[in-house]
Amino acid sequence: MHHPYRRVDGFTLIELMVVVAIVGILAAIVYPSYQNHVLRTHRAAAAACLGEMAQQMERYYTTTLKYTGATLPNPTCRNDLASRYTFAFDTGQPTDTTFKIKATPSGAQAADTKCGTLSLDQAGTKTVSGTDSVANCWR
């Protein structure tokens, strides 16, 4: 017996639209989380780089007994983060007995407004310019 309607295997347009909607919802949730993770990862790298630069400043101090005259250290991490952070001495730094190095977000990292600029001084004091806590930003 011949049936006028054949069974066709495959997806209907409705099924396809449901899948597209689910993928869209998942993407809307996952992408911002991924972006936040990328910001945190680069922030952690910048914090580690500031620590490395501070160590180099301490080495300079042990040979000259002052920070004045030191140039901003240039470890590899500084070049690796150049598209996301600008590293510099704070205004009026270094002095004979103090230094403060800051990492200012730039480029894509400028979206990191929670922590903003990270700073580290000769006493190991960590600061941030954003609204989040130092503990959250320096982990």
CATH number at residue 120: 3.30.700
The 3-state DSSP class for residue 39 equals helix
Total number of domains in the chain: 1
Does residue 98 sit within a domain?
yes
Residue 30, domain member (yes or no): yes
Residue 67 domain flag = yes
Question: Is residue 19 situated within a structural domain?
Answer: yes
pTM for this one? 0.81
The pLDDT tens digits along the chain (139 residues) read 566 666 667 778 898 999 999 999 999 999 989 999 999 999 999 999 999 999 999 999 999 999 999 999 999 999 999 999 999 999 999 999 999 999 999 999 999 999 999 999 999 999 999 999 999 999 8
The answer to whether residue 36 is domain-embedded is yes
- Give the distance, in angstroms, between the CA of residue 119 and the centroid of all CA atoms in the same chain: 14
Report the run of H or E that residue 130 belongs to, with start and end: none
7 within domain boundaries: no
**Structural domain span for residue 56:** 13-138
Residue at 4 is within a domain? no
- What is the spatial distance between Cα 118 and Cα 46, in angstroms, rounded to a whole number? 8
Reported as type and span, the H/E element at residue 79 is: helix 76-80
Whether 101 is in a domain gets the answer: yes
Tell me the helices (H) and strands (E) count for the chain, helix number first: 3, 4
Which amino acid is located at 59 in the chain? R
